[in-house]
Amino acid sequence: MSRNFYILAGVFLLFALVAFGISWTRGAHEPGLPDEREMWRMLALFFFLGSALTCLVGTITNMFEQASRRHEERLSREMQRHPPPED
């Protein structure tokens, strides 16, 4: 599950880099594209912040998955060492 968040964060980062690159090129002045460099830089900032937040969510999700997996492993080890009493 956390891998999906990391992939999404990478896509947002790629979009941020493309938007920031457009703000420094003449592509921002092509017909059909918005020509305000500040708009492209703001868009790049929003994509970057989205990437950072998505990466944070992926990291937290990964930590919870790891804690859950270790808890289940510990319970299974305890059950093997101390089986429940039979009636």
Q: What would the pLDDT profile of 52-85 be if each residue is shown by its tens digit?
A: 999 999 999 999 999 999 999 998 888 888 777 7
Q: What would the pLDDT profile of 26-62 be if each residue is shown by its tens digit?
A: 665 667 666 678 888 999 999 999 999 999 999 999 9
**Could you tell me the sign of the dihedral formed by the alpha carbons of 12, 13, 18, 23, in that order?**
positive
pLDDT band at 2 (very low <50, low <70, confident <90, very high): confident
Dig out the tokens for 20 from the structure: 């920031």
Contact 50, 18 (CB under 8 A): no
Read off the DSSP letter of residue 1.
-
The whole model's pTM is what? 0.74
CA distance 1 to 68: 13
Hey, where are the domains in the chain?
A: 2-81
